[in-house]
Structure 1
Amino acid sequence: MARSHDRALDRAITALLHEAVEHSRAMRQVLHQVGQLAALRIELTRPDENDGFPKVAANGHVLSPLTKREREVLDQLVRGRSNREIARSLGISERTVKNHLRNIFTKLGVGDRTSAVVKALGGNR
């Protein structure tokens, strides 16, 4: 009986350790992204005069594979807008926004919104 309890405890401890490792990896990724954004904020010295947001066209060579609509979606992403806000702003559905974002991530070689913004604004050079 004691051995089965020991094995159950060992499995529970192992599972918790695996979970801790995964959380640690996720936290490192988040901290890395925060660092990228902080460095980018320091680097950007010329925001657009109209609304204070830099334009994604500032890093045109990276964005050349994007369509005009994908650039519009990415510009909204730079402004920190949600999928719903982007859809409303551009007069498209949220599903279409998600499709554009998937295409943007693929074309820019990134896996998430933060990395797309960093790349669009000139980070990761």
Structure 2
Amino acid sequence: MARSPDRALDRAITALLHEAVQHSRAMRQVMSQIGQLVSLRINMLQGDGPADPAETALTELLSPLTKREKEVLDHLARGCSNRQIARSLGISERTVKNHLSNIFTKLGVGDRTSAVVKALGRND
């Protein structure tokens, strides 16, 4: 039979895990929405052409990226893991890591979040 302090600790752990799951779901939803916006932005930049100087700067920033690197960046902006990106694009996780390394170098950033922020044109 479990003692009362044990049950209280178990309830506290369960409550924290539940909260973490809820937070995780909310973060995935936000990341998905950000990803959709970044995809739209990247597609717009690949389309007709920029309408203002800020778009010109962003187009120039993303221009060194290959088509595949832009696809990886798009998935990254959607909050996908390396494994999810690999499965979606039909490539290995190692190849995804190589693409990410190239993206980071070309964008002059050191991590996933900075790459997405820069792709959104928010490098202030």
Q: CA deviation at 1:81?
A: 0.2
- 1:54 is paired with a residue of what secondary structure? helix
Partner of 1:112: 111
Larger radius of gyration: 1
- Cα 1:74/1:52, change in 2 over 3 Å: closer
Q: What does the per-residue CA deviation read over 1:40-82, in whole Å, with 9 as the maximum and x for residues that have no partner?
A: x9xxxxx79xx94332515322100000000000000000000
Structure 2 alignment gaps of length 5 or more: 1-29, 46-57
Question: How far, CA to CA, are the matches of 2:107 and 2:37 in structure 1?
Answer: 20
* Alignment match, 1:53: 37
Distance apart, 1:109 and its partner CA: 0.2
> Normalising to structure 2: TM-score of the pair?
0.57
CA distance, structure 1, for counterparts of residue 36 and residue 98 of structure 2: 28
* Alpha-carbon distance in 1 for matches of 2:99, 2:83: 13
**Alpha-carbon distance in 2 for matches of 1:88, 1:53:** 22
Contact 2:38–2:119 under 8 Å retained in 1:
no
Distance 1:93 1:115, change over 3 A: same
Aligned residues: 78
C-alpha distance in 1 between matches for 2:89 and 2:95? 10
Q: How does 1:1-125 map to 2 (within 5 A)?
A: 52-55=36-39, 56-57=41-42, 58=45, 59-124=58-123
Give the Cα separation in 2 of the matches to 1:120 and 1:76.
12
TM score, norm. by length of structure 1: 0.56
Specify every segment of 5 or more residues in structure 1 that has no aligned partner in the other structure, as ranges: 1-40, 42-46
